[in-house]
Amino acid sequence: MSSTGWRNLCFVLGLVCLAQLWRDCTRAPADPASAPDCRKALSASKTERSIATTDPREPSRNDAPSNEPSGDGLSIYGFTVPSWALWFAPHPGEDLKSYRDRLLPLAKAAIAPQRARVARSRDDFAQLANLDPHQRAELDSAAQETAAALQERVMGAVLNGELSPSTFKPMTGVSAARDLLDIVGRGNRRFLDSLHDDQRAKLAQHPFDFGDYLVFSTPWEAALSFLD
């Protein structure tokens, strides 16, 4: 697999991990089985010994710092998510529209430099390879149609329950990721077929990449307009 394919695969698998995290964060916790609190008995025993052996002339040690964890954050499979990171998760009682309106400005600000970067890279490659207007239009059309196919595949998976957090399985994510990568591969092939041999040679030496351009140039946030 090419470096572009591996990068796209990592991107999709990252989405799978986020879906798993979403499921664990939104699942109602099970009631823990009752168990005797050994710490209280141990604390009482230590207190009795301390009263019996403490010299009244010694300074009090009640102000000694505690080494027990504060319990901040969320623990998932032994990994503790920092409390500040939980701000990015849905808040209790927050609907999808409010969640989108809260995070969308941050997402746009974070992705703006990358969108500017891929636009400059596209223009630089177009000038270097001397792409004609038809080839430039073919690149943009391939990216737009690929993005539309990706959104259709994801929305279909959501509506069919394929990506439901309550029933999601890793192999389901692998199958969906394979479909998404195939869609990206077809878009890249369409772009490459519009180039001449010398232009493909220049592309191999240039940092411009169709997958990179697709990910950052597509206004994915427009798909959330259905929440309005």
Q: Does 21 map to a domain?
A: no
| Secondary structure letter of residue 77 according to DSSP | T
pLDDT of residue 149: 96
The phi-psi region of residue 30 (left if phi > 0; otherwise alpha if psi is between -120 and 50; otherwise beta) is beta
Q: Does 167 map to a domain?
A: yes
User: Which parts of the chain register pLDDT below 50?
Assistant: 33-36, 38, 41-42, 52, 54, 61, 63-71
Q: Does 60 map to a domain?
A: no
**Measured distance CA(132)–CA(143) in Å, rounded:** 17
Angstrom distances, CA of residue 204 to CA of 19, 137, 157: 35, 20, 35
| Tokens (6 digits) for 192 | 């490459």
Q: Does 32 map to a domain?
A: no
SS3 165: coil
| Tokens (6 digits) for 31 | 């009631």
R_g over Cα of the chain: 27
Q: Does 70 map to a domain?
A: no
Q: Which of 2, 1, 7, 33 is nearest to 214 (CA)?
A: 7
H or E segment to which residue 75 belongs: strand 74-76
**Measured distance CA(8)–CA(212) in Å, rounded:** 9
Number of domains in the chain: 1
pLDDT of residue 35: 47
pLDDT of residue 166: 78
Owning domain of residue 163: 131-228
Q: Does 171 map to a domain?
A: yes
pLDDT of residue 19: 60
pLDDT of residue 200: 96
Q: Which of 131, 121, 99, 124 is nearest to 216 (CA)?
A: 121
Q: Say if residues 226 and 134 touch (Cβ distance below 8 Å).
A: no
Report the length, in residues, of the chain.
228
For tokens 């604390």, name the residue: 43
Q: Say if residues 8 and 184 touch (Cβ distance below 8 Å).
A: yes
| Tokens (6 digits) for 137 | 């239009």
**Measured distance CA(173)–CA(129) in Å, rounded:** 38
Q: Does 71 map to a domain?
A: no
